[in-house]
Structure 1
């Protein structure tokens, strides 16, 4: 699971809306002082707040801090599909146009047409799969207010300190 911390901002039946704070991993990089991305993060440009709907079986309230997760295998498959398919279509269409001995403008146009058609196919497929439970974020656990540990609400460990 790929995990992200967030705060519950709205409740639904069987799901919650979570606001996440996304920033880059520059804080862990040794080159952060000489990097443009590190500079942008230090002044707040690279940080964004996102809202996402996550399914949840936990008893949560608005304002609770939670950890949401997305399955790694699903994320990797979709990343390959979204990025690789249009690129392969661009290359294949350009190759076919080139093998047909068309001029350079036609090869370029064929590549762009292949890219756009593949992008439209990816978009249509994504719209059909938007409600797939395997692809949805899930609330994994609730964070304690003091930030010391992560325990599901109501567990025996919730009141104890490590």
Structure 2
């Protein structure tokens, strides 16, 4: 499990919204000069983000209050599967759309291929959005509340491996 800590900013019946501080490892990365992650974090307002966390076994959303420090957990395999879906589905759908247009017409021009590629890419993004929406309440792939933290702890990311 990947663990992250943050501050509760809103409480709903079965979920809480947690503000996290994304700290990158740019200082120790060899590619820091050629990577856009540091610039992206700076552009996004210091790397703060909102995470929707579901009630967990140990801590329920109803037990949380605004400004509580909490720890949320996410299984490691969710990151890999999510990345694959987000990146692969639009590209594969774009390639399939171009192949379909090329297969239907032997004299398909560049304009038809570009249009098919854009339409396929947009359809792939729509599929990713549908997948995210249809799995929004699935605790196997959503962050879940782990525990309440003492108020004096920093709300930054604490990434650790749980046994």
**TM-score, with length taken from structure 1:** 0.70
Give the structure 1 partner of residue 18 of structure 2: 18
2:136 is the counterpart of 1:137: no
Distance 1:66 1:107 in 2: 50
Distance 2:84 2:20 in 1: 24
Structure 1 unaligned regions, length at least 5: 148-162
Distance 2:141 2:37 in 1: 31
Distance 2:144 2:5 in 1: 12
Decide whether the 8 Å contact of 2:24 with 2:38 is kept in 1: no
Change in 2 beyond 3 A, CA 1:81/1:28: same
Q: Helix, strand or coil: the match of 1:133? A: coil
Q: Helix, strand or coil: the match of 2:50? A: strand
**TM-score, with length taken from structure 2:** 0.70
Which of 97, 102, 105 is residue 98 of structure 1 equivalent to? 102
Per-residue CA distance 1:79-123 (angstroms, 9 max, x = gap): 211210110111122233334321111111111111122222222
Compare relative contact order (CA 8 Å, sep 6+) and give the higher one, 1 or 2: 2
Decide whether the 8 Å contact of 2:89 with 2:127 is kept in 1: no
Per-residue CA distance 1:115-141 (angstroms, 9 max, x = gap): 122222222232222111212211223
Which of 70, 73, 91 is residue 87 of structure 1 equivalent to? 91
Give the structure 2 partner of residue 150 of structure 1: none
Give the structure 1 partner of residue 118 of structure 2: 112
Change in 2 beyond 3 A, CA 1:36/1:75: closer
Distance 1:39 1:129 in 2: 30
Computing the radius of gyration from Cα coordinates, the structure with the larger value is: 1
Aligned pairs, how many? Answer: 146
RMSD of aligned Cα (Å): 3.0
Change in 2 beyond 3 A, CA 1:27/1:144: farther
Q: Helix, strand or coil: the match of 1:6? A: strand
